[in-house]
Amino acid sequence: MPGQSTGRDPKFWERAEEFLPERFVDSPIDFRGQHFQYVPFVGERRACPGLTFGIVTVEFVIANLLYWFDWKLPCEGAIGRDLDMSEVNGLTVHKKIPLHLVPIPYSLIHHSRDC
C-alpha cells in the first residue's frame, strides 16, 4: 500500500492536497499505522523501525529543555500577545517571523528563595 498516495486520497480526506493539521484535532486517527487512510510511517510488518525511538527521543529532548531551563522573550516587557503567529507555506509550514526565546538555566537555589 503506497502511503503517500493513500494520505492524499480525496475519498478519505476533504481538500486532500492541502496541508491542514487541524483535521487531526479531536480525531481518533493516529500516525502509528493503525488507520490506513493516514499512514506516514507505513503499517504492520513494514512499519518504520525507528518510529518508537524517534518519538521517545523527541519527548526526552523537549522534557529536558523544559526541566533545565526557564524561557523568556528577548525583549523586556514583551508578552505572548505581542507574538506574530502568522505562517508561511512551503514544503512545510513554518512561522513567518521566527520565534526567539532566551533560555535561562534553571537554578534550584534561585527558585527556592521565591517561595
Contact by Cβ (8 Å): 6, 39: yes
Q: Which residues does the annotation place in the binding site for heme? A: 48
Q: What is the three-class DSSP state of 27? A: coil
Q: Which residues does the annotation place in the binding site? A: 48
DSSP H or E segment with residue 59: helix 51-68
Q: Which residues pair with 71 in a beta bridge?
A: 103
**Residue partners of 69: CB distance under 8 A and separation at least 6:** 103, 104, 105, 106
Amino acid at 45: R
DSSP H or E segment with residue 101: none
